[in-house]
Amino acid sequence: MQQFLKRKFIKSSLLLPFFMLGACKIGFNKITSTNFFSQNKMSNHYPFQLPQLPYAKNALAPYISENTINYHYGKHHQAYITNLNNLIANTELATKTLEEIIKISASDKTKTAIFNNAAQVWNHTFYWHSIMPNGGGKPSTDLLKKIELDFGSYENFIAEFKNAAATQFGSGWAWLVLEENKLKIIKTGNAETPLTTNAKPLLTIDVWEHAYYLDFQNARPNYIDTFLNHLINWNFAYQNFKN
């Protein structure tokens, strides 16, 4: 028995580096606005599954608590996935990618529920990558220069981003996008997403109350400050900018 356990331990030890290599490979994949489903080996067809978070559920604490993640990711994001699957089962949309479903349903008034759930699946996946543990600070040189060029200064960018996120009335999103080679800040209501426009999203902040209420109650500006100072994932924005 002891010999068996010893052999099993040696076998496990030999395999460990391969598992670690696999995990690193997934972790370092370039995840961008247009390919994060395929790059992360996430299913991009029906039946959709809740994509893995790129960090542990408690990794954003104390800024975003594990409790918020349990609800926001585990309940809200999951609900959009479940609803979407129920709505497109046995329809022609079941063979389409998420991005295709969003574009088709956006222009069809009979498919509003499908659009809302599909876009929220996409927006939330994009949001989880827009933040990271030990995020915040300024972007890398290329992107910083472009921000200074298009907004006048980094400080102007911050002021405009904060204003958009704070003044989005009710539920929605604020985005940094690239449109006609110019960086812009836009805000969208409810499930609306830049994916249905010519603007390419670089990063987003979710300003639905479910994103911040457990940690910040009604103080949306504090959540926005925390996002910018401690959570924003400039690497993700930069990868989207370069691709």
Which residue intervals of the chain are DSSP H helices? 2-28, 36-39, 66-71, 78-88, 98-106, 112-130, 141-151, 154-167, 213-216, 220-226, 234-242
In terms of CB distance, is 28 or 169 closer to Fe ion?
169
Task: Name the residues that contact Fe ion, by CB under 5 A.
Answer: 206, 208, 211
- Residue 206: beta bridge partners? 173
In terms of CB distance, is 193 or 241 closer to Fe ion?
193
Q: How far is the CB of 88 from Fe ion (least distance, A)?
A: 21
The amino acid at 43: S
Q: How far is the CB of 188 from Fe ion (least distance, A)?
A: 12
DSSP state of 178: E
In terms of CB distance, is 59 or 79 closer to Fe ion?
79
Tokens of 20: 């670690």
Q: How far is the CB of 187 from Fe ion (least distance, A)?
A: 14
In terms of CB distance, is 29 or 190 closer to Fe ion?
190
How far from chain centre, in Å, is Cα 76? 14
Locus of tokens 């559920």? 57
Q: How far is the CB of 147 from Fe ion (least distance, A)?
A: 25
Q: How far is the CB of 100 from Fe ion (least distance, A)?
A: 22
Q: What is the dihedral of CA 46, 52, 53, 54, to 10 degrees?
A: -120
Task: Name 198's Cβ contacts closer than 8 Å, sequence gap at least 6.
Answer: 179, 180
In terms of CB distance, is 177 or 211 closer to Fe ion?
211
Q: How far is the CB of 36 from Fe ion (least distance, A)?
A: 17
In terms of CB distance, is 121 or 183 closer to Fe ion?
121
Contact 130, 42 (CB under 8 A): no
